[in-house]
Structure 1
Amino acid sequence: MRPARSQRRLALRHAARVAAVATVLLGVLGVAAVAGLDLVVHDRLTDQVRVAVLDALHDVRSAEAAPGVAPAAPVEGLGRGDDEDGEPLALWLVDRAGTVQATSPGAPPLPRAARDLAGGVQEVGIDGAAWLVGSVRVDGGRVVAGESLTESQHIFGTLVLGEAVVLPVLLLASFAAAFAIGARAAVPVEAARQRQLDFTADASHELRTPLTVIEAETALALRGLPPGDPAREALERVRAEGVRLRRIVEDLLWLARLDTAPPGAPAEPVDLVALAEAATGRFQPVAAERNQVLELAAGEETAWLSASPDQLDRLLGVLLDNACRYAGPGGRVRVVVQAGSGRVALRVEDSGPGIPEASRARLFDRFHRAIEDGSGHGLGLAIADAVVQATGGRWTVGRSSLGGASFEVTWRQR
């Protein structure tokens, strides 16, 4: 069984991954919520200034309508003082020629671009700051009212700065909390998973000896029985089932070794073309026995990747064995190796019946067979998938141009 320290380290690695994913999701949601809040606050602050400008223009109309009021009186008599909340309101009286005739106390010079506003409240630059400015016609010209956005922008900037400081701290605290919870929960889960893997490996290993004895004893018994003897037929079936059971045990043991292998197992540069040539050569007699055409198509570019040669060879063996089995007598099997755009691809396709759509979801499940043809034991594709996952590959399963199934794996070229 794997040492407790190794189990603990693997559990902590899983907990860190879960905590990182949870923190990223929380961060995305947090940023979206903060952005929405900032938008609402910004609009609210701007609306407050806009309402103040519109109220001032309304007061100007009311004062200008009073009898006996001089044209400049509304301007000189209005405007919010510095002791009130927010920026002071500024008013300007502009005549028909566009000349400023009067201003409220403390109002900065009004730029010419702000003297001919077409109505409504608009944002303009005055004295190096952003202002909201509106105007209303009065007898003899126009009154322009405006308020600086400096105070609103300062409040909004303080809010954003606070969010930028607090949000990372909250995310860091969330990661720490999620990691602590995940680490505590992952240890018993990882221990149970490891016990299951160890049981599979130990059981498979222990079964090899009695299976070897059964095969040897049936072989000896068959030597002393003449052809046609009923006992011989029974022993032949026992031997065939023993061989099949031995293959299942070997596959289970191989899967257990791969499952319990430490992450980042040693890898080396592998020429996928050479590996595919060797595997295709091994299966040529199998294809010839079934009157099948087995061909290899490889591009001129090198197809190197970093992986375990034994694992890739096992992957090729599984895919070729499946393809030859399902292609049927007189069928075709094609192995394609391609390299380009920084990736290496291996594709094995056949002219068989293909994979039913309903079976694709469970295609790589252990002991699941896509087509119940009476052969195989449902571990081949599970082994292939374990190899693909261990080597960082990616599956593409579909229909081949030959009419049957197509299994393609791509890796990043290294």
Structure 2
Amino acid sequence: MVDDVVGRNDIVAWRGPDTDPVRSLLHDLREPLAAILLLSETSQGDVRERLVSIQEQASWLAEVVAASLEGAAGDHVADIDARALANEVAGRARMSTTTTIDVEVVGECRVLARPVALARALGCLVDNAVRAAGPAGHVLIWVGSCDDAFHIRVLDDGPGLGRLAPRTSIGLATTRAMVAACRGRFRLAARPDGGAAADIVLQSRSEPDAVAL
């Protein structure tokens, strides 16, 4: 069960400085590269499975770099299966952490957005949530329609907002920029029982101006 964080008074729209595209790109390349190094150095598991995982990470790196070089023209608006996207992001994140990462989908799971931008935004939020939750913690990616909008939420059971030593603000700045590219909104809140809830709010396919991204 997901806490009803949308509409709470303690939810705030994150504000930050303009995103430096080069630093943002480098930030998003860090985790996939770390996963590739980890997969290439370990002797555990099936070699063929590790090679498939390395290929998946490398393919994602190629997509991010290509979209960054081409800008919006390289990341066209598409009808996205948000369930599949959430599972892909979760799968990549699981390769380099022992944190439990689950995906829950409720109702409609298709949305119009820029695929790479949305995946980068979600990846940044999952990265932050994993760091907050810690190696033995839990992160949930919740996908579904609620309050007449489409939501992708990332919930963690970490210490809560403001209680974790900051690393950089690049991840949140990148999230804000990528969500804006999809004409969405990004909101961050403290969960009542601890941890944080990040909420990406997007236009559903049924909204009249959804195709005008």
TM-score (norm 2): 0.59
Q: 1:286 to 1:262 in 2, by over 3 A?
A: closer
Match status 1:410 vs 2:196: no
Question: Contact 1:332 / 1:402 at 8 angstroms: preserved in 2?
Answer: no
- The partner residue of 2:173 within 378, 382, 386 is 382
- Shift, 1:294, TM fit: 1.8
RMSD of equivalent CA atoms: 3.5
Q: Which has the higher contact order (CA 8 A, sep 6+)?
A: 2
SS at match of 1:266: coil
Q: For the Cα contact (< 8 Å) 1:295–1:335, is it kept in 2?
A: yes
Do the aligned residues in 1 keep the contact of 2:24 with 2:171 (CA within 8 Å)? no
Q: Residue type of the partner of 1:297?
A: E
Query: C-alpha deviations, 1:54-98, integer Å up to 9, x for none?
Result: xxxxxxxxxxxxxxxxxxxxxxxxxxxxxxxxxxxxxxxxxxxxx
Aligned to 2:93: 283
Q: Which residue of 2 aligns with 1:328?
A: 134
How does the TM-score come out when normalised to structure 1?
0.32
Q: How many residues align?
A: 149
8 Å Cα contact 1:270-1:306 kept in structure 2? yes
Larger C-alpha radius of gyration, 1 or 2?
Answer: 1
Distance 1:287 1:262, change over 3 A: closer
Amino acid at match of 2:152: L
Tell me how far apart the structure 2 counterparts of residues 295 and 407 of structure 1 sit (CA, whole Å). 15
CA deviation map 1:250-283 (0-9, x unaligned): 9xx97xx49x9469x7311111111001111222
SS at match of 1:348: strand
The residue aligned with 2:101 is 294
Conservation of the 8 A alpha-carbon contact between 2:141 and 2:154: yes
User: Relative to 1, partners in 2 of residues 1:401 and 1:281: Cα closer, same or farther, differing over 3 Å?
Assistant: farther
Partner in structure 2 of residue 372 of structure 1: 165
Could you say which structure has the higher helix fraction? Answer: 1
> Any unmatched runs of 5+ in structure 1?
1-192, 208-249, 357-369
Distance 1:262 1:333, change over 3 A: closer
1:347 aligns with 2:153: yes
Inter-partner Cα distance in structure 1 for 2:103 and 2:72: 34
1:52-67 pair list within 5 angstroms: none
**How many Å apart are 1:342 and its aligned residue?**
4.2
Q: CA deviation at 1:340?
A: 4.4
Runs of 4+ in 1 over 3 A off after TM superposition: 260-263
